[in-house]
Amino acid sequence: MHDERRRIEERVERLHHQRIKPAIHAATVPFEVAAWQAPGEPVPFEEAAAAPYEPFAMDTPWGPPWGTTWFRLHGRVPAEFAGRRVEAVIDLGFVGDWPGNQAEALVHLTDGTPLKAVNPLNQYVPIAHPAAGGEAVDYLLEAASNPDILAGDFAAPTPLGDILTAGDKPLYTFRRADIAVLDEDVWHLDLDLQVLRELMLELGEHDPRRHEITHALDHAMDLLDLDDVSGSAPAVREALKPVLSKPAHASALRISGVGHAHIDSAWLWPIRETKRKTSRTFSNVTALADEYEEFVFACSQAQQYEWVRDNHPRVWARIQESVKKGQWAPVGGMWVEADGNLPGGEAVARQFVHGKRFFIEHFGIETKGVWLPDSFGYNAAYPQLAKLAGNEWFLTQKISWNQTNKFPHHTFWWEGIDGTRIFTHFPPVDTYNACFSGEEMSRAVRNYAEKGAATRSLAPFGWGDGGGGPTREIMERARRLRDLEGSPRVEIEHPDAFFAKARAEYEDAPVWVGELYLELHRATYTSQARTKQGNRRSEHKLREAELWATTAALHAPGYRYPHDRLDRLWKTVLLHQFHDILPGSSIAWVHREAEAEYARVAEELEALTTEAITALGTGTARVFNTSPYPRAEVVRDGAGAPAYVEVPASGSAPLTGGAKAPRPVTVDGRVIDNGLVRVRIADDGTLSSVYDLRANREVLADKGNLLRLHTDLPNYWDAWDVDKHYKNRYTDLLDASEVEVVEQDPLLGAIRVSRSFGNGSKITQTITLRAGSPRIDFETDIDWHEAEKFLKAGFPVDIRAPHSSAEIQFGHVQRPTHTNTSWEAARFEVSGHRWLHIAEPGYGVAVINDSTYGHDVSRTVREDGGTTTTVRLSLVRAPRIPDPGADQGRHRLTYSLLPGASIADAVAEGYALNLPLRVAEAAGEPQPVVSVDGESVTVEAVKLADDSSGDVVVRLYESRGGRAQGVLRTGFPLAAAQVTDLLERPLGDAATDGDTVPVELRPFQILTLRLRRS
């Protein structure tokens, strides 16, 4: 037989695209269209319905960037359309085929009922099936003219990312608004051809099945009448039935399809636009559920449900009905799909608390799994936190983006730092926006790492990032792929069902221990530093407000714990931990608003804390310590004068009297000495020496606090990525314009160093050493005007450290300082929270920060045989895409060097730097709500129970990585204690002895106690 594949493939392609597709909507009549441009921000339907509309012609430009145009459509179904499937077809002037970041609209009936959305891959609105003919059709379209930020594939900066800079030139040209007949035979033929052609092209050239499909397609095309595509379509379909009906092989991979519409809560659009995206997408999904009874849609992010509930109650009612029918599956159990590295431990706990409670309250459903397909790596505390929130499984996809190493598993047990394991799956289809194309199905089979041991994988299907969701075309593909020779078997089902089946067949799946590090997007630890600082400040201010509000509720008659206000503020902070806000990868508008929100949150939390402390009564000046560790340190009084105080953990003490002053600080030229450490500052403003007087050893191996400015242009994804070549080109900032003593007091000494560099940038640092503490603080003020640069602060330490330890949520992780393997070499930039620690036997050093997350750690061997381990903090970047002004302007932050530090010291000083002592007037000496005996038993949160019962909830964890025993004492009469999950539901009784609770923890264990007052 002659090989005629090329002729046949080209024939089928041309007929498919040039004859069959145009015949899907062959019979059409246009709508009459009128338009009204809404001024400013979006308006409610009622206002738009009453607005004055002007006639609008097709092929007319419309839509300024970020604008809203309402279109009124009026038409009448022609009599000749009677008995046929009729729908509106609308093309707003779509660019490309990505639904998310461009024009999109929500279609309403004239009474305000939302029907469904239109976007490039979903342009229809059902009218009648079958149509009677003659009826009037009237719609109102709320059309958003969102700019295409991805135009040009992120090749250059754009001003379109903020309404303040985007201009007002119309972006789109309205192309089509028709009443059309959907020719169902032609439409189904189109889908038959899609599935068969794509399958054929993926099969091997020697596979008999490929040749069978090829010749079947050739024969079918002989039956296509080019002058009557509609009339001949049934015969063509009949000819294709034999090749479409052959069953899949018994050993074919089983793919569980789960409807999905990844909607970034903000990214290349602001939060206000996401609120509309959710309603558009969710109206599409509920409409699709009415057409396909097998359809199941998985949807996470309780925040987005709340937006729909508040803004589109009719869409919300449809969601509730779909949940009842089992076609809508709430998943994830988090308030938003948060970044996987940067939120603090308590914040991750609250993501689960607020997310799971929402689904329980509104749907009566407790979600079973963590759904995080798109975060940029996942911290090693997740397994424990997920289990403590009642979850059984974990899903992500992003690790498939690894730049260097292919992750070895798709189904496995993920083990966290405390030993907790959770059943985990990475879809081998390598996307959370699957459409069941032949290429995707083939990739899933090739990619699947569990061949021979397991047979199942999951595929989230539907258009996403900017929403859109599944379409009827994807559903039709799934029906054809349910049992088709040469393809995996596709079955649409709930993700809980998939995970139950996958675990049942693969209980002995391999184990991955530790963090899931994404070998990409490492710059998200640093980009948009003010957003990250706002998050860190907010997390600690929330802790502070809850602690002192609890104290006041226990000790101040008449004080009411502010449950509702704290709940609202937590939700605001949790929203901004979304995986494109907190990582710094959104447009300028998003980060401008985030900074304003953080300022508002800080102001309100400051007021809440002040109210709580004031409720304790006014009297003498006292110092309040929110840290879980006792403090003996220098604090400034109301007039700014330094004072030395000793304050118990989570308690208070008088500002003056009672604390013995430590050895005084001396300042001699550029040398500061407090009897614990001696710091020498060189002429160039770097540290020439840090001598630990307690250990009689020099800490530094070279210039300390070396500020290095790197050229920083990654290969792609500017705000997301820092590529290894950034290290190769840099400038050390050694020209200090000012080095002067600015404070000389027995309790502290400070020297200020100023530098100017680059494009008018300036850094002013105040280097401070206080009495009684070896911690050296670098209070840093950066006026930043660089582009495509990366600023780091380095400390080369004379320590041979085999690994570094970095704080993460509820513990820390160790990472090798060598690069023996490609896995280790790929971790050239890593995340950490409040501290990073390096040590050799007998001596360690910690670097502590109050707002940065990115670090790198390296080591070299010197000519004298000693080893230098260098820790560098990533301070600020200057990417230009997607926000051309990212990080420009002022930054104020503090980081510290702590010589002679153990892990315990790093933990305590990390809390101390991030929770400054507070001076305020108060009466009496209120007892701390709780206190703990037990060196590594650390209190993370103190609050009143969410159910307003008045019970006290305390969250503890073991912070050093070893076993811990201790005793928790209450500052109130204790009636009983319970161990609870994160949602404060009982897991069992805790033993009590009077007002104490014995505590025993395994390494890094998290324990939540609910304490009932007598």
Residue with tokens 């990619």: 447
One-letter amino acid for residue 334 of the chain:
M
- Beta carbons within 10 angstroms of residue 904's beta carbon: 14
- The C-alpha atoms of residue 750 and residue 672 are separated, in whole angstroms, by 8
Angle of CA points 784, 790, 796, to nearest 5°? 115
Structure tokens at 396: 């992500």
Are the C-beta atoms of residues 271 and 265 closer than 8 Å to each other? Answer: yes
Q: Count the alpha carbons within 13 Å of 723 in the hemisphere toward its beta carbon.
A: 12
d(CA 725, CA 65): 36
Among the residues of 724-778, which ranges form H helices?
none
State how far the Cα of 190 lies from the Cα of 196, in Å rounded to an integer: 10
106 Rama sector, left if φ>0, alpha if ψ -120 to 50, beta otherwise: beta
Residue with tokens 């530790």: 514
Partners of residue 895 on adjacent β-strands? 778, 849
Among 940, 971, 965, residue whose Cα is nearest residue 954: 940
Q: Is the peptide bond before 130 cis (omega within 30 degrees of 0)?
A: yes
Q: How far is CA 350 from the centre of its chain?
A: 14
Q: If you search the block for the tokens 């792929």, which residue do you land on?
A: 481
Is the CA virtual torsion 290, 291, 292, 293 positive or negative? Answer: positive
Identity of the residue numbered 663: R
**Token pair for 361:** 């309250």
Q: Which residue has the tokens 């790929």?
A: 826
Query: Residue type at 864?
Result: D
Element (H, E) at 571: helix 563-575
Could you tell me where the DSSP H helices lie in 481-518? 495-505
Q: What whole-number distance in Å separates Cα of residue 650 and Cα of residue 748?
A: 25
Nearest to 931 by CA among 997, 979, 852, 983: 997
- Non-local CB neighbours of 754 within 8 Å, separated by 6+ positions: 736, 737, 738, 762, 763, 764, 765
Q: Is 138 a catalytic residue?
A: no
Chain center to CA of 762: 32
Which amino acid, one-letter code, is at 379? N
Rg (CA), the chain: 31
How many angstroms separate the CA atoms of 433 and 149, rounded?
19
What's the Cα-to-Cα distance from 368 to each of 230, 336, 375, rounded to whole Å? 48, 16, 19
Structural tokens at position 532: 């990250």
Q: 178, 192, 374, 905: which one is catalytic?
A: 374
- Distant-in-sequence, close-in-space partners of 672: CB < 8 Å, separation ≥ 6: 665, 666, 678, 679, 681, 749, 750, 751, 767, 769
H/E element holding 601?
helix 588-615
* 943 close to 639: Cβ distance less than 8 angstroms: no
Buried b (16+ CB within 10 A) or exposed e, 857-872: bbbeeeeeeebbbbbb
Contact indicator for 295, 259 with CB cutoff of 8 Å? yes
State the Cα–Cα distance between residues 647 and 644, nearest whole angstrom: 10
> 923, 616 in Cβ contact below 8 A?
yes
Active site residues: 374
